[in-house]
């Protein structure tokens, strides 16, 4: 069977297959070498993610361990507890522990799997005020960029402690002037430009652990490799 990569995360992962998102771009990039399996759950935080791990990932006895898993949580954990989406909030220390637990689960299930952790993106607070998920009586954004930065820092610390690669999306996006509208369509979720940043960063990190078009075998003969004079011969090996 063709190897797989699982994309595990919240709405930014769930939406990654829409309108040329980073997930569909990965599927297109690896179209003849690796299957991209979407496991995104809008609104989820790491506390909820821990509760569903056994349902999200196949048991080890099913065979075919994935080559890689992306873990992309934090945007919902970082909701402020005293504002309109406070029910999604997870304290930053618990967030760290939850990420450790998710990574430990994946490593125990598939010891050879490559895990790539992604920080939450930066937050455009003006954009969030215009696009609240629930009724916002306070008139204050339910997320702030400062809070998202604390969770991004915690995410990177977990990656370092576990010895796994990480994408620092929070920092990367803010390096570009005008990132608020260039990369975020509602202060949180990604525009086409934001999707491209995530895709490029993931491709770079996967290449760093040996997963690239140059290293992954194509699963069946390419049309260019089929002899027009004896096509069937290409399928005999």
DSSP code string of 113-176: -EEEEEPPPP--HHHHHHS-SS--TT-S-SS-HHHHHHHHHHHHHHHHHHT--EE-HHHHHTTS
11 is a catalytic site residue: yes
Q: How far apart are CA 96 and CA 6, in angstroms?
A: 21
Q: How far apart are CA 86 and CA 37, in angstroms?
A: 30
189 is a catalytic site residue: yes
Catalytic entry in 11, 16, 25, 85? 11
186 is a catalytic site residue: yes
| The three-state (H, E, C) secondary structure of 51-119, written as one string | HHHHHHCCCHHHCCCCCEEEEECCCCCCCCCCCCCHHHCCCHHHHHHHHHHHHHHHHHHCCCCEEEEEC
* 8 Å CB contact between 202 and 212: no
Residue 126 contacts by C-beta under 8 Å, 6 or more apart in sequence? 141, 180, 187
Catalytic entry in 77, 85, 114, 189? 189
Catalytic entry in 35, 168, 186, 200? 186
Q: Which residues are catalytic?
A: 11, 186, 189
């Amino acid at each position: 069977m063709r190897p797989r990569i699982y994309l595990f995360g919240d709405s930014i992962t769930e939406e990654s297959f829409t309108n040329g998102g980073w997930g569909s771009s990965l599927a297109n990039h690896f179209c003849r070498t690796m299957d991209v399996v979407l496991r995104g759950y809008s609104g989820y935080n790491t506390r909820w993610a821990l509760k569903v791990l056994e349902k999200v990932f196949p048991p080890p006895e099913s065979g075919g361990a994935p080559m890689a898993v992306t873990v992309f949580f934090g945007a919902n954990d970082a909701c402020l507890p005293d504002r309109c989406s406070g029910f999604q909030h997870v304290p930053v220390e618990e967030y760290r522990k939850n990420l450790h637990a998710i990574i430990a689960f994946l490593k125990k299930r598939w010891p050879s799997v490559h895990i790539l952790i992604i920080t939450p993106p930066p937050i455009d607070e003006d954009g969030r005020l215009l696009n609240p998920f629930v009724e916002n009586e306070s008139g204050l954004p339910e997320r702030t960029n400062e809070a998202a930065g604390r969770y991004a820092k915690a995410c990177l610390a977990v990656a370092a402690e576990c010895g796994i690669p990480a994408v620092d999306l929070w920092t990367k996006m803010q390096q570009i002037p005008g990132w608020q509208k260039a990369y975020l369509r509602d202060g949180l979720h990604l525009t086409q430009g934001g999707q491209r940043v995530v895709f490029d960063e993931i491709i770079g990190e996967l290449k760093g652990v040996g997963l690239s078009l140059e290293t992954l075998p194509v699963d069946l003969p390419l049309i260019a490799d089929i002899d027009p004079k004896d096509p069937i011969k290409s399928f005999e090996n």
